[in-house]
A and B are shown apart, each in its own frame.
Chain A
Amino acid sequence: MRLFLKCLAALVAGTALGLFVTWLTIVRGASGDVVNGPWRTSLLTGSTQSGALLRASVALHGLLALNRSETIYYTASTDSAGDALDGRCTYRLTGRDPPARWWSITAYGADDYLIATPSELYAVSKNSIVRRADGSFIVTVLRNAGAVDQIAVGDGHFSLTLRLYNPAPSVAADPAHAALPTIERAGCT
């Protein structure tokens, strides 16, 4: 009887530990092995060559992602200083048009879905931003947005996804050094 209980305890403990490690690496873990400032990506997203860990991560956090020939996805969960993105703070994204046929930046809640806000300003894109005279732009990310070059994120933690549709070959060749917007925290309430 005692032997049976020990075996059972080992089985339960091992199962719990295995699932915890999976949760830690896949559910909670940051996806993408390429780092570009606050942005992370993987060139193997959507590819048949992607490993089991990346495939599982993409299934949970970016199901039906296209491969790099069509779209490259960068995700940021922190600002440029490394602090977690938080809806109680206001952020400024500063940059120029990334090298792609089309691009957009979209905010998602901790559950990986679009965030419910009164304005429903979920994203900015190549056609919605306001460029300054030198071609650069500033996008404001804040709790309650109200303008086309703003993104509303509510109160909680969030992440941003930068999609590059038909990216320039230079991005796939060196995704860690593509010119992407910076994410600066402007203040918190």
Chain B
Amino acid sequence: MMAWLKRNWTFIVGALVVAVLVHVASVMAIPRLVMWRATGLMARNTGYNTMSHAVRATWQSRTIVRPSPDLLYSSCPFDLDSTPRDALHVHASGMPDTYWSVSVFDADTNNVYVLNDRRAKGESVDFVIISGEGDDTLGDSGPPKIWVPTARGVVLFRTLVDNEARFAEIDAARKHAACEPYVPQH
């Protein structure tokens, strides 16, 4: 055994180096791969840069792990590179009178922005997502700009069904959430 180890120690060390590199690379790659698959599934029917309103989660919901059945999810997978001005407009007015949040995730799964009904203080949701160095010609006018590190990601609205008797009303109101490529109004 010792003789075999002495004869092959360089290969053993080499294998351990490869193991460390593969481990680090796979850990770094997992978030982006998982997000890439998830946004692809979300965009399967409606494409990127548009909002879709999922039905309430059941055991048949297989797009995103660990969905919450007391929330209604509306998602907008985005690809800023495919928009005319590298910018996405996210807006919603008339959201229901219950807990809701809108969150932005980058391609590495980081939650880079979140706003909820209390912080919105009854105001409508209205912001523009930009990435990279952004489009300088957008200027400071128009809706607030939210900077995202990557051109791809997801905008996710979560709306709580806190009263089953109000389900239809809440479901209808949360569908006011929308997104589309941003074009400034001059």
Contact = CB atoms under 8 A, between A and B. Distances in A.
Interface of A: 6-7, 9-11, 13-15, 17-19, 21-22, 25-26, 46-48, 50, 52-53, 55-56, 58-67, 69-70, 101-102, 104, 106, 108, 112-117, 120, 122-123, 125-127, 161, 163, 165-166
A108 B19 CA distance: 32
B1 interface: no
Given A60-B34, A70-B114, A166-B99, A14 B26 contact: no
B50 interface: no
Interface string B153-182: 010100010110000000000000000000
A48 B110 contact: yes
B70 interface: yes
Interface stretch (B10-18, B80-88, B131-139): B10-18
Given A6-B8, A15-B22, A116-B59, A22 B27 contact: yes
A64 B27 contact: no
A106 B84 CA distance: 41
A6 B18 CA distance: 14
Chain B's interface size range is 35 or more
A14 B163 contact: no
B30 interface: yes
Contact of B23 (A6, A22, A61): A22
A123 B19 contact: no
Contact of B14 (A7, A21, A61, A106): A7
Nearest to B57: A114
B3 to A, nearest CB: 16
Interface stretch (B60-68, B89-97, B120-128): B60-68
A47 B111 CA distance: 6
Nearest to A102: B99
Contacts of A15: 18-19, 22
Contacts of A62: 65-66
